[in-house]
Amino acid sequence: MIVASEIQQAASAAADLRAAGTLALVPTMGNLHEGHLTLVRAARKNARSVAVSIFVNPLQFNNPKDLETYPRTLDADLAKLEGEGVDLVFTPTAEIMYPEGMENHTSVFVPGLSDMLEGALRPGHFRGVTTVVSKLFNIFRPDCAMFGLKDFQQVAVLKKMVRDMAIGVKIIEVPIVRDQSGLALSSRNSLLSEEERRRACLISREMNAIREEILSGNRDFAAVVSAARARIDGNEGFRTDAIDIVDALTLKPVDEHTLRAAVLMAVYLGKVRLIDSVAFDLAPERC
C-alpha cells in the first residue's frame, strides 16, 4: 500500500494504477469505521485498484469547535486500509491542499442544492465539499468514486457537480451502514459518552416512525415533523436541528410528482450533531 502525503506523489501513483486498469476513489475524513470500509469494499467490486483519501477538510467545517474536536486516528486508519488491500492512500495536510490559504483557493460551487437544507444550516459546507472533491478528482482522475448515502444531500450535490462540469467520474452511492441498535455509523459517534451512544438509536427509530407514518397515508408533513420533534426534544440531551421530508431526487418539498421521498434528520445529542436519512418509494395517493 502506497501512502502519499504530497499531491504529485499521489497523482503519479494514481496514474500508475490507472495504467494497469480502472481506479476507484473513496474520499474520507478518517477515523475509519465499518461504514467507510463498506465503501472501500464497494470500490474493490467496481474497479481494479482502490485509492482512499484521508483529509479532515477545514474548508467544509462551518464550526471551528467541530473541526478542532473531529477525531483523528491516522495510524489505526492506515492499518484498516492495509487490511482491506487498498492500493493507495492520500494523507495531505491543509497546507498541502491549500498552500495559499483556504480563502485564496479557487472554489467550486453547486448553486441551489448547496444552499438548502443542511447547506442553509451549515453555510459554506457544501462549497468546501465540492471544492475538495473536485481537487481530489483532478489528482486521482478515478473512473468512479464511492459516497455514502448517510450524507444524502452531499451525494445529490456531487452528482450535479459532475453532471454540470462534465467530469468523467461515476458517482456510486453506498447504503448507510448501521450498528445493531440502528444508529448510523459515524466518526462523530466516538465523541458520544457510552450512555449517549446507547440512547442515540432514538434518532433512527423516530426517522423510521416518520417513514411509516407517511407510508400509512399521512400527508400532513408539518404535523408529522412537529410531533417527531416534540418526541425527540422531550428526551434529555436531545435537540432537533432539522427534520425535512423532501423529494429524494430534487430535495425540494414533496409534491404530486414525487415518486420517492426522503426523511433527512440532524439532531444534537449533547454537543454532538448527528445526521441520518432514509429514502423510500411513495405509494400513489388513493382517491
The candidate with the shortest Cα–Cα distance to 133, out of 99, 112, 157, 103, is 157
Contacting positions for ligand AMP (CB under 6 A): 28-29, 35-36, 38-39, 147-148, 150-151, 174, 176-177, 184-187
Taking the complex as a whole, how short is the minimal distance between the CB of residue 276 and ligand AMP, in angstroms? 9
* Closer Cβ to ligand AMP, 88 or 254, answer by number: 88
Taking the complex as a whole, how short is the minimal distance between the CB of residue 133 and ligand AMP, in angstroms? 10
Active site residue 257: no
* Closer Cβ to ligand AMP, 31 or 258, answer by number: 31
- CA-CA-CA-CA torsion for 24, 170, 122, 204, nearest 10 degrees? -80
For 246: left if phi > 0, alpha if psi spans -120 to 50, otherwise beta; the answer is beta
Please give the residue whose beta carbon sits closest to ligand AMP in the complex.
Answer: 148
CA–CA gap between residue 174 and residue 151 (Å, rounded): 10
Catalytic residue among 36, 105, 125, 257: 36
Supply φ then ψ for residue 284, to 5 degrees: -60, 140
* Closer Cβ to ligand AMP, 130 or 187, answer by number: 187
CA–CA gap between residue 90 and residue 54 (Å, rounded): 6
* Closer Cβ to ligand AMP, 173 or 282, answer by number: 173
CA–CA gap between residue 283 and residue 215 (Å, rounded): 7
Taking the complex as a whole, how short is the minimal distance between the CB of residue 127 and ligand AMP, in angstroms? 15
The candidate with the shortest Cα–Cα distance to 255, out of 247, 244, 263, is 247
Taking the complex as a whole, how short is the minimal distance between the CB of residue 219 and ligand AMP, in angstroms? 29
Q: Catalytic site residues?
A: 36
